[in-house]
Amino acid sequence: MASNALALIYHSSYNLELPGHVFPAHKYSHLYNRVKRDPVFASRDILLPKKADDAELELVHTKEYLDDLFGYEHTARTMYSELPLNRSIVESFMYGVGGTIYASELCDKHQFGFNMGGGYHHSFPDKAEGFCYLNDVAIAIRKQRETKPNQNALIIDLDLHQGNGNSYIFQHDDKVYTFSMHQGNLYPKKEISNLDVNLEPNTKDDEYLSILDTSLKQIRKDFDANIIYYVAGADPYEDDSLGELKVSMNGLKERDRMVRKFAESLNIPCVVTLAGGYARDFRDTVEIHFNTITAFGEK
């Protein structure tokens, strides 16, 4: 594993046009273009993921659910998604899952595998939820277990919303530790993580970062991780349209650096996924995601 080496992964299928929808699914191409304009990253290879296959999806999801999903049928299993259901959207999720699987595989050679998509943490084995049809992090963890059965995976979920899908999937799995730090009075209905931190509205930088520091110290005592999966949501931002946390752009930069330093201090790799972001100014969401790339690409 090369120290401080960052591998970036992106596929054009991540990008979706959903006019008028609160989920800015066109952010992925804007982020890609932001990376290619940056003098530090412009010459860096961005790697293409493969689309996840049925066997990989079935590591987490039930066949009945997948049948409904691939049939584009609105059923009791798909109805809780807040996205349309069509071929391009399902393809986008399959590439997103493939990107997180690829990021985890690249962590054999790179300290940081960064999927410029993914983080679909609300998806359950047998149903869609929120803006999530397929649970990429859970699938990647199960996929990696095929070749590394003794691997202990730590999920650090710092999206605005609890990663309820991952918490549910791994609630009886002692080789996966789920940590979710989120606004407590928001969607979704909460599941039980190994460590849940429910933040109050109006939580600002200093308090947010102090709580994160305390949480990471607790995790270090509680769990012997071999790999981290970081769900780096942009939506704790102070001007996010769906949340009431008040973390500044600089506060989110420091959050990302803290996760990086935590991985480095344990000398273990980290897979990064983007997850949510709904800033009132769309450009802020793109910049927050770009700052996360920068935090993991710094020398």
Inter-axis angle of helices 136-145 and 87-106, to 10 degrees? 40
To which residue do tokens 């969607």 refer? 187
pLDDT confidence of residue 299: 75
pLDDT tier, 46 (very low <50, low <70, confident <90, very high otherwise): very high
Question: Which helix (H) or strand (E) segment is 216 a member of?
Answer: helix 205-222
pLDDT tier, 17 (very low <50, low <70, confident <90, very high otherwise): confident
Domains of the chain with bracketed CATH: 2-297 (3.40.800.20)
pLDDT confidence of residue 8: 97
Phi/psi at 13 (nearest 5 deg)? -70, -15
Residue 135, SS3 per DSSP: coil
To which residue do tokens 């799995």 refer? 173
Cβ(273)–Cβ(118) below 8 Å: yes
* Residues contacting residue 34 through CB under 8 Å, at least 6 positions apart: 286, 287, 290
- Specify the DSSP class assigned to residue 47: E
To which residue do tokens 């595989």 refer? 105
pLDDT over 80 (residue 121): yes
pLDDT confidence of residue 68: 97
